[in-house]
Amino acid sequence: MRFQQTFLVASVLAMAAAKPCKPVVKPSSSAAPPVTSAVAPPPIAVPTVAPVATEPAAPVVAVSAAGGITAEKIIQIAPTTASCAGAEFPDECADAAAAAPAISNSFTQYKLTEVGEQAAVVSLMLFESGSFKYNKNHFPGVVGQGTRNMQSPAFNALYAAAIGVADPMADNDSSFGSAAWFLTTQCSADVRAGLVAGTPAGYSAYLTQCVGTTDTADRDTIWAATIAAMKG
């Protein structure tokens, strides 16, 4: 009996010795930590923005100055300006071909670019000088009165001093420039605005409030013909 117990104990011990135990591995404190690969984050997709469609810029259109005067327009307004034949004072007469460049020079010098103002000074000169036949006052013959708009001696003295000449009636540029000078230096802003409007009322105010004369039917007829020709 004792032998059997001893044999059983021995068998159990032998079986235990034959089956190996899994060793327990204790990690070392000096072991390096596990390495993880640094993977870059995926790139952020940037949306593509289409360029904003823009309309092409409109071309710049040059605007020409209003009005302007030519010999042909002067003859259209006052046919007798085509020639100085038969003029009572030939040395004072200027035909349309001589008058046009001098008047144009005055528009440039005094910056008259509005057709209404241009027409006013041309019609005034045509009326006062008998369609450019006279450069001095002969009726009744006031000494010192003249130029193409027949300025008074007092205004001619101011004008001569302003342009630096002794006699403003001595040459075409001076004589034909007087009306533009008078308008730009002696007339009010309201009068000028009325001329720019190109109305009969505006022209009437120019005559009565600035030139200092009466508005008559024959003056209006010349003005109407002048502004029509210069607008054309």
Q: Is residue 167 part of a domain?
A: yes
Give tens-digit pLDDT for 138-178: 999 999 999 999 999 999 999 999 999 999 999 999 999 99
Question: 42 pLDDT exceeds 60?
Answer: no
Residues with Cβ within 8 Å of 34's Cβ and at least 6 positions away in sequence, in order, are none
Q: Is residue 148 part of a domain?
A: yes
CA pair distance 72, 90, nearest whole angstrom: 21
Contact (Cβ atoms closer than 8 angstroms) between residue 169 and residue 138:
no
Residues 112-141, mean pLDDT to the nearest whole number: 98
Q: Is residue 227 part of a domain?
A: yes
Q: Is residue 32 part of a domain?
A: no
By mean pLDDT, which of 3-7, 22-26, 56-60 is the weakest?
56-60
More confident residue, 114 or 39: 114
**Token match 């007798």: residue?**
80
Q: Is residue 120 part of a domain?
A: yes
Domain total for the chain? 1
Q: Which residues pair with 136 in a beta bridge?
A: 146
Q: How many CB atoms lie within 10 A of CB 82?
A: 15
Q: What is the average pLDDT score of the chain?
A: 81
Burial class (CB in 10 A: 0-12, 13-18, 19+), 105: middle
Question: 45 pLDDT exceeds 80?
Answer: no
Give tens-digit pLDDT for 175-218: 999 999 999 999 999 999 999 999 999 999 999 999 999 999 99
Residue range(s) defining the domain that contains residue 165? 87-186+217-231
In the chain, where does DSSP find H-type helix? 2-18, 71-77, 96-109, 115-128, 153-163, 172-186, 189-197, 200-205, 217-231
The per-residue pLDDT for 232 is 86
Q: How confident is the model at residue 32 (pLDDT cuts 50, 70, 90)?
A: very low
The per-residue pLDDT for 113 is 97
Q: How confident is the model at residue 67 (pLDDT cuts 50, 70, 90)?
A: low
Q: How confident is the model at residue 76 (pLDDT cuts 50, 70, 90)?
A: very high
Max Cα distance, the chain (Å): 182
Q: How many CB atoms lie within 10 A of CB 81?
A: 23
Q: How many CB atoms lie within 10 A of CB 204?
A: 16
Question: 5 pLDDT exceeds 70?
Answer: no
